Structure 1
Amino acid sequence: MSDNEWPRELPAAHGEWNDPPHRPQRAILAAALVLAVLAAAGGLTWQLMRNGAESPDAAPTAAPVPSVTSPSVAPCPEPELSVAAAPEIEPLIREAAATLNPSGLRCPPVVVRAEEPAITAAAKERAGVWIPSSSAWLSVAARAGGAYSVSGKPIAYSPVLIAAPEGIASVYAKDGTTSWTGLIKGATESTFPTITMPDPLKSTVGLLSVHAVHAATARTTKDAGIAQLRALTLRSRLEEANADPAELLERMGRQTDGTTAVFDIGLFPVLEQQLKAYQKVKHPVPLAGAPPADGRVEADYPFAIRKGADKELAAQLRAAISKPAVAAAGFRTEPTAGVLRLPQSSGKLLGPARQWAQYRDLAFQVLLLIDSSGSMNEPITDRDGRSGTKASLLRASGVSAAELFGDDTRIGMWYFGTAARNGPAHTEVVRYGSISGVVDGQTRREALQTRIGAYKPESSAGTPLYQAVLDGVETMRGEVTPDAATVVVVLTDGADGGARFAMSNDAFLKKLTAGQDPAKPVSIIAVGYGPDANMSALTGMADATGGKAFAAENPADLASAVAQAFLAAHTS
């Protein structure tokens, strides 16, 4: 799907919530979090903890309604003005519309319905007035042929906050604020047990949050690729990535055990108005929320009119929506200072959103094959004009990339390239195993970062690319399991040659395809680094195994290529 396209049909919303599996990192702060949450929840007992209290009781099932035979009633004609409003503001708009509808009239002239903006944007039949929860949806709808004109300023505003049970507020919020980069840091260091986000293609909160995450990571580095890697790190750590904020709040409201709420839902972005509505009710698990200081975003509610709609009636409706009523409903009547400006192009907003939505959560088994031949010592100039080497850029990109892999990943790393006449085709640098397992006193993730940070190519070393790939695929074939994706990720800046293992591309592909086993698939994700990389050979090996190849012809684009490779492994 290109950046200019928008799905014409949206997946059905989830009707049920299933408790996600608990991840290993949750145990790290479990004891401290339990104490904090129990203190905040007030009325909980240690007996609940001993009995392993789990998720709340299921919502009661409504009794069946007996069928009643009634005389036929003529259907109402099309209303004079149909209005689609974001669900959280629909009650306010419906009350305003009621002042324009004569009482007791079965077919009122103004009809208001609650509808998520993503659904309205993709609909063929369009309402006369549309009040979405962000002006961004208007440009999305325009690309799909639904043009609306905006009448005046937005009628309401609501910032996005990061919320969680009050008992852990001190863990993620400092001095009344939070940060997206702090959320990423907490995710990678296992400071937070659970982070939940909405689907950015369905939810305004999700769309704005993903934009804010990318804006925040862009401020941490001048390298756009590394910024993308850092943003994707948060995506790779989400417990749930398609949770509707309103349903999360409803689910949280049914919780009776604060500890379960922390581990099953944890931290999540939500509108200030939605959080206020939750806080008005005395739930067993109280919530707190704070704005992210490094990427403030805000839902605004434009009053948009479709061409051909009754403008006079629309103007009357807008006039009936008073500022006191807006404030009483928990919204702000003026925009918040310091919020991020959204890109004018919906493609720039939707690009990162699609990456998040299309990312597949799966167990990942990967072997990294890193070219350590002498050519990696060649000098280069990055996009900021700083001098360095290919190896120095690899070190910077690799350290960030090591954070991407989830805690259920099994991983190993080899270098290939040898200057010795009878040297091996590859050297094991980090032995294969669980990323959270211990290697030489460090977790395997830390060992990857340490080894990549100390990466030094061998001068005058050849490039036994083909033999290293054959060996790597054969090794990983023995690790294949039905519940995980198994891949070999290859990064090289050259072509096969300069070693005793040299072979023709035809001979290599023949060996590669001959060794394939449909019952034990191993895909190759290849990154060609620099203008001398043999992209033809890399594309051939990727195609032969159902993988993908990416070019980073400019060495400064290496991190972006690594991000593409990572996404390819999780979207194919």
Structure 2
Amino acid sequence: MHVVRAQPNTPTEDNLPTRAEVRAAQRRRRSLILLGVIVALAVALAAVLGVIFWRMAAGETGQASAGECLPSGLRITADPAVAPALEAVVGDLTGTRTDCPEVTIRAEDSAITAAALAGGSSPDFDVWLPDSAMWPAQAAGQAELAGTPAADLVVGAPVASTPIVFAATPSTATALQAEGVGFASLAERSVAAVLPDPATEAASSAALLALQTAVGGDARAFTALVLGLDAGVVPTAADALAAASAAESPTIAVTTEQAVLEHGDDAANALVPIQPADLKPAVGVPLVTLADAPEDTVSAADALAAAVRGASDRLAEHGLRDANGAVPTPTATDAADSPAPDEPADGTDQAEVLRTWQVLTAPSRMLSLNDVSGSMFQPATADMRRIDLFEKAAVRAIESMSPESSLATWVFSSRRIGGQDWQEVVPFGKLGDPEHKQRTIDTANALDTLVGGGTGLYDSVLAAVSYMRETYVPGEINLVLLNTDGINEEDDGLDLPGLLAELEKLRDPARPVAVIAIGYGPDTDQDVLEQIAAATDGAAYQALEPTDIGTVLVDATTQRGCRPNCG
């Protein structure tokens, strides 16, 4: 028998693949090769993306995560309200690592940092975290006013926030919440309030913005409100909280939620935060850098900002909310009790309302220039003369002024002292001095004994403004309060164009002396008074009825800070 042996896997004539089978096999091989290429590309892409995400985690795109170093070292200045939370966040970033670039955190009150920057000091930080965006705006504004070169700052978006609340004892809080207490309540003065000094506490300037909104932006109403609140201003938030705790009558402290939480809940001094029923202002904590900072510093600052924004639990441990005003779920008691506040107050608006506050509450240095011409003896009512009504109104106005204010009293009529139309009867003195205040009141009550002669208006106005310019006191509101019932009757002195020209020569916006003029009765040339007031950036009023005199005089006295735009 003939035997044919075949080598293993060697095709014989009987088992040779057909052409169709060969082509199919070739297609399978090409598919496998293509699949391999695709897999290789996918692996490569995953590797590239992995590098990108790793770099992002390392801070190259402005982020950092726990256990990762910031891209470079940072010198940080932070407000004491922010510094502890920031230290915790930075500590979480580095963890136990010892090879990270150095990050130093120095706690300093924002007002102090802002004042140094406004004065032209070089920043000693790479990153500044004030407790409000107001402070960079305040520093820039003050530097501009003083003509001081200041650092160019870049103010970033908030990384944390805290709402403005009313702090009260539990019993007071229960009663006020039932009434729906809000900023409108403060505007109506239906509740006693204690306010930390807005010059040092950003929460107070944010509260002032809310009060301005509550009165519809009315400058007169806001001025009266500010002057009423001034008596309840204390240096710090801690002082405000202590005052609210110790008050015998229902009193609230206007401050931040964080300040109330840090005050503690000790039974003797327990205070609880009340969320205002109407407006819900807040302050945001921005991250501020220098415009000329190197790229690695900017990268590190961006990474720090991202880390703080993502650390809501750490913020909550220190009484702060996240940038959106939210409270972390694990520590929130009830969403109704902790509603998200409005957007954090604009820093520029806060700085502007602070400037308004400072102007309104600055001590006045007022020269009261009073018409005692013969026409003041004319009847105003059936039983009172014009001078009688003015005397009563003058005493009321004196009583409305703060003890820190200074007041002098002049009178005028034609040729009182030789050819001079004006006369000083009470020199300047502080109304906080009981002797000076009483002398001023006694003089106001006795103006009728000085009445006589014509109205020597123009020369007297120029003399008063000139005196105030020569004796100008910085830091006080220097002004002339002109009270008259007639028109100029002095033919030998200045005419109106001459007076206006002289007032223009004396004008100095940096050291203003305004004339606030009040015309009594229908005989007054009100157009002239308005021109005199306008020449000094002052204001003019008119009291046509006897009952208007008291209201107008007190109004003019208290509107000194919003002139010439009191509305």
In the superposition, the TM-score normalised over structure 2's length comes to 0.51
Name the residue aligned to 2:342: 339
Note if contact 1:184-1:230 (Cα within 8 Å) is conserved in structure 2: no
Relative to structure 1, the CA distance from residue 352 to residue 258 in structure 2 (aligned partners, 3 Å threshold; closer, same or farther) is: closer
2:87 aligned with 1:94, yes or no? yes
Name the residue aligned to 1:57: none
Relative to structure 1, the CA distance from residue 430 to residue 81 in structure 2 (aligned partners, 3 Å threshold; closer, same or farther) is: same
1:296 match: secondary structure: coil
Q: Superposition pairs for residues 113-124 of structure 1, below 5 Å? A: 113-121=106-114, 122-123=116-117, 124=122
Which residue type is aligned with residue 182 of structure 1? S
Name the residue aligned to 2:355: 354
Relative to structure 1, the CA distance from residue 233 to residue 217 in structure 2 (aligned partners, 3 Å threshold; closer, same or farther) is: farther
Q: Superposition pairs for residues 98-177 of structure 1, below 5 Å? A: 98-101=91-94, 109-121=102-114, 122-123=116-117, 124-142=122-140, 144=143, 145-149=150-154, 153-169=157-173, 173-175=176-178, 177=180
- Residue 299 of structure 1: how far off its partner (Å): 0.9
Name the residue aligned to 2:41: none
| Partner Cα distance (1:317, 1:478) in 2 | 56
Relative to structure 1, the CA distance from residue 473 to residue 218 in structure 2 (aligned partners, 3 Å threshold; closer, same or farther) is: farther
Note if contact 2:128-2:288 (Cα within 8 Å) is conserved in structure 1: yes
- Residue 547 of structure 1: how far off its partner (Å): 7.0
Relative to structure 1, the CA distance from residue 146 to residue 297 in structure 2 (aligned partners, 3 Å threshold; closer, same or farther) is: farther
- Residue 111 of structure 1: how far off its partner (Å): 0.9
- Residue 524 of structure 1: how far off its partner (Å): 4.2
Name the residue aligned to 1:314: 301
| Partner Cα distance (2:371, 2:170) in 1 | 45
Relative to structure 1, the CA distance from residue 547 to residue 89 in structure 2 (aligned partners, 3 Å threshold; closer, same or farther) is: closer
Larger-gyration structure (1/2): 2
Relative to structure 1, the CA distance from residue 557 to residue 196 in structure 2 (aligned partners, 3 Å threshold; closer, same or farther) is: same
Relative to structure 1, the CA distance from residue 476 to residue 165 in structure 2 (aligned partners, 3 Å threshold; closer, same or farther) is: farther
Note if contact 1:201-1:353 (Cα within 8 Å) is conserved in structure 2: yes
1:301 match: secondary structure: strand
Relative to structure 1, the CA distance from residue 183 to residue 104 in structure 2 (aligned partners, 3 Å threshold; closer, same or farther) is: same
- Residue 87 of structure 1: how far off its partner (Å): 1.4
2:311 aligned with 1:326, yes or no? no
Note if contact 1:81-1:110 (Cα within 8 Å) is conserved in structure 2: yes
- Residue 502 of structure 1: how far off its partner (Å): 3.4
Relative to structure 1, the CA distance from residue 315 to residue 238 in structure 2 (aligned partners, 3 Å threshold; closer, same or farther) is: same
- Residue 355 of structure 1: how far off its partner (Å): 3.8
- Residue 523 of structure 1: how far off its partner (Å): 8.1
Note if contact 1:228-1:563 (Cα within 8 Å) is conserved in structure 2: no
- Residue 564 of structure 1: how far off its partner (Å): 7.2
| Partner Cα distance (1:478, 1:557) in 2 | 23
Note if contact 1:160-1:205 (Cα within 8 Å) is conserved in structure 2: yes
- Residue 204 of structure 1: how far off its partner (Å): 0.9
- Residue 205 of structure 1: how far off its partner (Å): 1.0
| Partner Cα distance (1:418, 1:364) in 2 | 32
- Residue 558 of structure 1: how far off its partner (Å): 5.5
Name the residue aligned to 1:267: 252
- The one of 416, 431, 434 equivalent to 2:392 is 431
Which residue type is aligned with residue 330 of structure 1? G
Which residue type is aligned with residue 89 of structure 1? V
Note if contact 2:373-2:413 (Cα within 8 Å) is conserved in structure 1: no
- Residue 568 of structure 1: how far off its partner (Å): 9.7
Note if contact 2:283-2:345 (Cα within 8 Å) is conserved in structure 1: no
Cα deviation per residue 1:43-93 (whole Å; 9 max; x = unaligned)? xxxxxxxxxxxxxxxxxxxxxxxxxxxxxxxxxxxx920112221121110
| Partner Cα distance (2:422, 2:172) in 1 | 44
- Residue 426 of structure 1: how far off its partner (Å): 2.2
In the superposition, the TM-score normalised over structure 1's length comes to 0.51
Relative to structure 1, the CA distance from residue 355 to residue 436 in structure 2 (aligned partners, 3 Å threshold; closer, same or farther) is: closer
Q: Superposition pairs for residues 65-80 of structure 1, below 5 Å? A: 80=73
Which residue type is aligned with residue 502 of structure 1? T
| Partner Cα distance (2:95, 2:317) in 1 | 24
Which residue type is aligned with residue 201 of structure 1? A
Note if contact 1:225-1:557 (Cα within 8 Å) is conserved in structure 2: no
- The one of 481, 504, 511 equivalent to 1:525 is 481
2:233 match: secondary structure: coil
| Partner Cα distance (1:164, 1:364) in 2 | 37
2:284 aligned with 1:286, yes or no? no
| Partner Cα distance (2:515, 2:227) in 1 | 21
- Residue 505 of structure 1: how far off its partner (Å): 4.5
Q: Superposition pairs for residues 186-205 of structure 1, below 5 Å? A: 186=189, 192=192, 195-205=193-203
Name the residue aligned to 1:239: 232
Name the residue aligned to 1:55: none
Name the residue aligned to 1:179: 182
Which residue type is aligned with residue 342 of structure 2? V
Cα deviation per residue 1:369-389 (whole Å; 9 max; x = unaligned)? 69999xxxxxxxxxxxxxxxx
| Partner Cα distance (1:425, 1:535) in 2 | 29
Cα deviation per residue 1:84-103 (whole Å; 9 max; x = unaligned)? 22211211101112234575
Relative to structure 1, the CA distance from residue 90 to residue 419 in structure 2 (aligned partners, 3 Å threshold; closer, same or farther) is: closer
| Partner Cα distance (1:510, 1:129) in 2 | 53
| Partner Cα distance (2:219, 2:282) in 1 | 26
Cα deviation per residue 1:297-319 (whole Å; 9 max; x = unaligned)? 20111233332362343344334
| Partner Cα distance (1:252, 1:480) in 2 | 28
Q: Superposition pairs for residues 53-72 of structure 1, below 5 Å? A: none
- The one of 487, 502, 518 equivalent to 2:455 is 502
| Partner Cα distance (2:259, 2:389) in 1 | 52
- Residue 138 of structure 1: how far off its partner (Å): 3.5
- Residue 506 of structure 1: how far off its partner (Å): 4.5
| Partner Cα distance (2:182, 2:432) in 1 | 38
More divergent stretch after superposition (268-277 vs 361-370): 361-370
Cα deviation per residue 1:412-431 (whole Å; 9 max; x = unaligned)? xx9786699xx966233563
Name the residue aligned to 1:229: 223
Note if contact 1:548-1:565 (Cα within 8 Å) is conserved in structure 2: no
- Residue 357 of structure 1: how far off its partner (Å): 3.1
| Partner Cα distance (2:413, 2:185) in 1 | 42
1:201 match: secondary structure: coil
Note if contact 1:525-1:547 (Cα within 8 Å) is conserved in structure 2: no
Relative to structure 1, the CA distance from residue 429 to residue 316 in structure 2 (aligned partners, 3 Å threshold; closer, same or farther) is: closer
2:454 match: secondary structure: coil
- How high is the sequence identity, in percent, across the aligned residues? 18
| Partner Cα distance (1:240, 1:415) in 2 | 41
Note if contact 1:198-1:206 (Cα within 8 Å) is conserved in structure 2: yes
Relative to structure 1, the CA distance from residue 563 to residue 128 in structure 2 (aligned partners, 3 Å threshold; closer, same or farther) is: farther
Relative to structure 1, the CA distance from residue 427 to residue 132 in structure 2 (aligned partners, 3 Å threshold; closer, same or farther) is: same
Note if contact 1:100-1:317 (Cα within 8 Å) is conserved in structure 2: no
Cα deviation per residue 1:159-189 (whole Å; 9 max; x = unaligned)? 1112233343366x343743334224337xx
Aligned residue-pair number: 381
Relative to structure 1, the CA distance from residue 372 to residue 209 in structure 2 (aligned partners, 3 Å threshold; closer, same or farther) is: farther
Which residue type is aligned with residue 239 of structure 1? G
| Partner Cα distance (1:311, 1:511) in 2 | 57
| Partner Cα distance (1:370, 1:289) in 2 | 53
Unmatched tracts of structure 1, length 5 or more: 1-78, 374-413, 438-443, 446-464, 489-498
Relative to structure 1, the CA distance from residue 258 to residue 294 in structure 2 (aligned partners, 3 Å threshold; closer, same or farther) is: closer
| Partner Cα distance (2:179, 2:353) in 1 | 28
Relative to structure 1, the CA distance from residue 557 to residue 106 in structure 2 (aligned partners, 3 Å threshold; closer, same or farther) is: farther
Relative to structure 1, the CA distance from residue 536 to residue 207 in structure 2 (aligned partners, 3 Å threshold; closer, same or farther) is: farther
